């Protein structure tokens, strides 16, 4: 996941620090100056802002005080609880924060060698598929001597304030951080894959089975180092409104634990083994907690033994961290962001994934057929002009994770822009031998479609049967331009690649060997009544479709005489009068056995509806030797150019 970082604005930390130490001066960042332009673009902070270095705020400044903790952080006056919640999550993951805060020991204040301090720090963020190293000076905005944005509970601890300044620099100013998504910040801290879950829309609190499955999923994410956050949807006038139950609407909470808590005391608890699903959260304010069941002073904790309570670290104080039952969490919260740290390591005790990453753009050309911004499937005239990516599922069934991410737009907020595009994608099952762009969706199966939303990332998790698939990443409307990153995760290599060519290329020898005149799509659906060739009473059939020297072979269907095939092939035919063969074979450990075939001779007519065709044995009379039938659908197109 981690790689060497690229210097933002070509500012190299080590070179700048060395120059400052040599010149015996403190660093002043020309790319993010201590001026109002770095603070806001629309609404000024409520007071006179003075930029101060940590040494002017505290007599003994430190990067960390007694290590890094989720309890360190408090939100400032800007509405960036989403960022503070992400920082709380980050503090729980040493392997992550040590990447985001590189050289943290070297960056720490050294009272014994004050001459080595140059007022410069650097942080690293995963931005659009690349680690970026961001340099900042240590001048921080204050009002009446107090930090006005994100800060630590200890007034001499500055890691969170400096980290926020580096993140604000990426977004052009502090005000650009007002309003955001915790999952996006977590992705920027880790390179994780973010999944947005609507607890309200899916109504998990009404369906115990769905609720139990969600808890198991979140428990697995948490145990494998993932990061989870949540919030309660709010209308504009309800932002950060406190409810009677202690929760705050329009406010981001970081999830700090997901546990099955053992109920009972002593040996009885051990042998009874009764558990309840609980979830722990932290309010970025550092105060204001849930006051319902399983809150700090709730009587429910009397059901839990002292040892178990000690392991959970229960504290009775208003520190912003609290427990809830998972059922109450599903009922009271409306949205959650689940960020999976995808394991692509070859050596691991946990599940590993094969990842493919593609970068692309929705672009407009002078020739409409060359556009790559066709909009969603609602726009049938232009949809096929979108970028197309083909991948293979080689297992019988495989779980596939697909993430579509657009560039962060916050940097444009100060210029009156900065809103996310509404994006999503569709997944089609296609012919096993497809290697050119799709020009017709009527004959293809749309197996999955993501939600379309103006979020930075759209995520889909699905189980797909063996076959070949094409992903269409799109904007919701046509002719909307932008850049995207597509990430596809499968259990084994999917050979995911972009389809860029519309049809077979004309070669220098094409005039001698011929050029395709017709495109024919052959779909085999199932077979029935096959001759029994196994002594056990069944067969292990598979299908081969062949045409002009090219062929497509299905998977083997074990022990059946009525196999259900979903096999298809696309053929670019130079000689349309030549036949297409559909053969059924029985897989045998020693030698494959031929079971029958359909020969489609001459010009094949379109058949949009499945047709039952009789198989015949090779060399036998058609009239009386019928081993069975097979369902076929044939679609012929003479158009070889893009639609």
DSSP line for 336-403: EEEEE-----SS-SS---EEEEEEEEE---SSGGG-S---STT-TTTGGGS--EEEEEEEEEEEEEEE
Give the tens place of pLDDT for each residue, 134-148.
Answer: 999 999 999 999 999
Does position 445 have pLDDT exceeding 80, yes or no?
yes
Q: Tokens 């495109």 label which residue?
A: 519
Confidence of residue 622 (pLDDT cuts 50, 70, 90): very low
Do 305 and 262 meet the contact criterion of CB atoms below 8 Å apart?
yes
Confidence of residue 284 (pLDDT cuts 50, 70, 90): confident
Confidence of residue 186 (pLDDT cuts 50, 70, 90): very high
Does position 347 have pLDDT exceeding 70, yes or no?
no
The predicted structure's pLDDT at residue 441: 84
Give the integer Cα–Cα distance in Å for 198 and 204.
9
Q: Tokens 């940590």 label which residue?
A: 54
In this structure, what are the phi and psi dihedrals at residue 13, rounded to the nearest 5 degrees? -55, -55
Q: Which residue has the higher pLDDT, 221 or 71?
A: 221
The predicted structure's pLDDT at residue 173: 92
Collapsing DSSP states into helix, strand and coil, what is residue 411?
Answer: helix
The predicted structure's pLDDT at residue 406: 96
Collapsing DSSP states into helix, strand and coil, what is residue 243?
Answer: coil
Provide the 10 A C-beta neighbour count for residue 358.
17
The predicted structure's pLDDT at residue 425: 98
Do 450 and 462 meet the contact criterion of CB atoms below 8 Å apart?
no
Give the integer Cα–Cα distance in Å for 594 and 581.
13
Give the integer Cα–Cα distance in Å for 368 and 374.
10
Q: Tokens 């899916």 label which residue?
A: 202
Does position 513 have pLDDT exceeding 80, yes or no?
no
Does position 616 have pLDDT exceeding 90, yes or no?
no
Instruction: Return the CA Rg of the chain.
Output: 31
- Among 538, 543, 537, 550, which residue's Cα sits nearest to residue 564? 543
Does position 621 have pLDDT exceeding 50, yes or no?
no
Confidence of residue 577 (pLDDT cuts 50, 70, 90): confident
**How large is the average pLDDT for residues 333-361?**
83
Q: Which residues are catalytic?
A: 81, 251, 283
Residues sharing a CB contact under 8 Å with residue 608, sequence separation 6 or more, in sequence order: 443, 633, 635
In this structure, what are the phi and psi dihedrals at residue 609, rounded to the nearest 5 degrees? -100, 140
Residues sharing a CB contact under 8 Å with residue 476, sequence separation 6 or more, in sequence order: 375, 376, 421, 422, 423, 424, 452
Give the integer Cα–Cα distance in Å for 513 and 502.
20
The predicted structure's pLDDT at residue 1: 42
Read off the DSSP letter of residue 607. Answer: -
Does position 79 have pLDDT exceeding 80, yes or no?
no
Give the integer Cα–Cα distance in Å for 482 and 468.
27
Do 362 and 475 meet the contact criterion of CB atoms below 8 Å apart?
yes
Q: Tokens 């158009």 label which residue?
A: 639
Q: Tokens 């981690």 label which residue?
A: 2
Between the CA atoms of 91, 95, 96 and 98, what dihedral angle is there, to the nearest 10 degrees? 80
Confidence of residue 154 (pLDDT cuts 50, 70, 90): confident
Q: Which of 90-99, 390-399, 608-617, 623-632 shows the lowest mean pLDDT across its residues?
A: 623-632
Give the integer Cα–Cα distance in Å for 88 and 252.
11
Does position 623 have pLDDT exceeding 60, yes or no?
no
In this structure, what are the phi and psi dihedrals at residue 360, rounded to the nearest 5 degrees? -155, 180
Q: What six digits make up the tokens of 280?
A: 């722990």
The gap from C-alpha 201 to its chain's centroid, in whole angstroms, comes to 20
The predicted structure's pLDDT at residue 285: 77
Q: Which residue has the higher pLDDT, 72 or 396?
A: 396
Q: Which residue has the higher pLDDT, 68 or 420?
A: 420
Residues sharing a CB contact under 8 Å with residue 89, sequence separation 6 or more, in sequence order: 70, 182, 186, 227, 228, 229, 254, 255, 256
- In terms of average pLDDT, the best of 315-329, 466-480, 559-573 is 466-480
The predicted structure's pLDDT at residue 533: 62
Crossing angle, helix 81-91 and helix 182-190, to 10 degrees?
40
**How large is the average pLDDT for residues 227-254?**
90
Q: Which of 64-78, 112-126, 563-577 shows the lowest mean pLDDT across its residues?
A: 64-78
Q: What six digits make up the tokens of 314?
A: 């229960």
Does position 78 have pLDDT exceeding 80, yes or no?
no
Give the tens place of pLDDT for each residue, 451-501.
Answer: 999 999 999 999 999 999 999 999 999 999 999 999 999 998 999 999 999
Give the largest Cα separation in the chain, rounded. Answer: 101
Provide the 10 A C-beta neighbour count for residue 412.
15
């Amino acid at each position: 996941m981690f790689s060497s970082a690229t210097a933002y604005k070509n500012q190299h930390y080590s070179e700048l620090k060395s120059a400052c130490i040599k010149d015996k001066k403190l660093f002043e960042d020309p790319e993010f100056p201590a001026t109002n332009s770095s603070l806001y673009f629309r609404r000024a902070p409520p007071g006179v802002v003075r930029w101060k270095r940590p040494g002017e705020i505290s007599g003994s400044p430190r990067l960390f005080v007694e290590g890094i903790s989720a309890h360190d952080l408090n939100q400032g006056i800007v509405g960036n609880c989403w960022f503070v919640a992400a920082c709380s999550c980050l503090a729980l993951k040493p392997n992550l924060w040590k990447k985001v805060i590189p050289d943290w020991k070297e960056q720490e204040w050294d009272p014994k060698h004050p001459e080595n301090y140059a007022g410069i720090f650097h942080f690293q963020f995963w931005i659009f598929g690349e680690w970026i190293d961001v340099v900042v000076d240590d001048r921080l905005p204050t009002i009446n001597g107090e930090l006005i944005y994100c800060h630590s509970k200890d007034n001499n601890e500055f890691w969170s304030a400096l980290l926020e300044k580096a993140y604000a620099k990426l977004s052009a100013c502090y005000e650009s951080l007002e309003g955001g998504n915790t999952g996006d910040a977590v992705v920027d801290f880790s390179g994780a894959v973010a999944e947005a879950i609507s607890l309200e829309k899916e109504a998990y609190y009404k369906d115990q089975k769905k609720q139990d499955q969600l808890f198991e999923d979140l428990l697995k994410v948490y145990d494998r180092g993932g990061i989870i956050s949540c919030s309660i949807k709010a209308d504009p006038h309800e932002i950060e409104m406190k409810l009677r139950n202690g929760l705050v609407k329009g406010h981001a909470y970081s999830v700090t634990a997901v546990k099955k808590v053992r109920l009972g005391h002593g040996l009885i608890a051990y042998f009874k083994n009764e558990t309840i699903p609980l979830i722990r959260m932290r309010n970025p304010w550092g105060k204001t907690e849930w006051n319902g069941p399983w809150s700090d002073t709730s009587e429910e904790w009397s059901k839990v033994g002292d040892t178990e309570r000690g392991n959970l670290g229960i504290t009775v104080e208003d520190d912003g961290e609290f427990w809830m039952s998972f059922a109450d969490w599903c009922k009271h919260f409306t949205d959650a962001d689940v960020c999976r740290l995808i394991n692509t390591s070859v050596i691991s005790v946990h599940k590993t994934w094969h990842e493919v990453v593609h970068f692309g753009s929705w672009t407009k050309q002078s020739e409409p057929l060359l556009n790559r911004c066709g909009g969603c499937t609602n726009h049938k005239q232009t949809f096929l002009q979108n970028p197309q990516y083909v991948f293979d599922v080689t297992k019988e069934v495989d779980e596939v994770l697909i993430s579509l991410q657009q560039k962060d737009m916050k940097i444009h907020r100060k210029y009156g822009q900065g809103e996310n595009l509404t994006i999503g994608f569709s997944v089609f099952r296609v012919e096993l031998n497809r290697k050119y762009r799709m020009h017709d969706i009527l004959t293809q199966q749309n197996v999955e479609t993501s939600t379309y939303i103006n979020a930075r990332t759209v995520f889909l998790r699905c189980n797909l049967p063996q076959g070949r698939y094409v992903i269409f990443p799109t904007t919701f409307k046509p002719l909307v331009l932008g850049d995207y990153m597509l990430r596809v995760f499968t259990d084994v290599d999917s050979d995911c690649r972009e389809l860029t060519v519309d049809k077979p290329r004309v070669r220098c020898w094409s005039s001698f060997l011929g050029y395709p005149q017709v495109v024919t799509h052959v779909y085999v659906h199932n077979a029935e009544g096959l001759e029994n060739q196994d002594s056990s009473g069944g067969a292990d059939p598979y299908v081969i479709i062949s045409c002009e020297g090219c062929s497509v072979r299905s998977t083997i269907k074990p022990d059946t005489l009525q196999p259900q095939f979903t096999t298809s092939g696309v053929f670019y035919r130079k000689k349309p009068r030549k036949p297409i063969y559909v053969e059924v074979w029985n897989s045998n450990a020693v030698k494959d056995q031929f079971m029958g075939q359909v020969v489609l001779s001459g010009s094949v007519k379109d058949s949009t509806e499945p047709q039952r065709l009789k198989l015949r044995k090779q060399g036998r009379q058609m009239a009386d030797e019928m081993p069975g039938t097979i369902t076929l659908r044939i679609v012929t197109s003479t158009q070889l150019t893009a639609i």
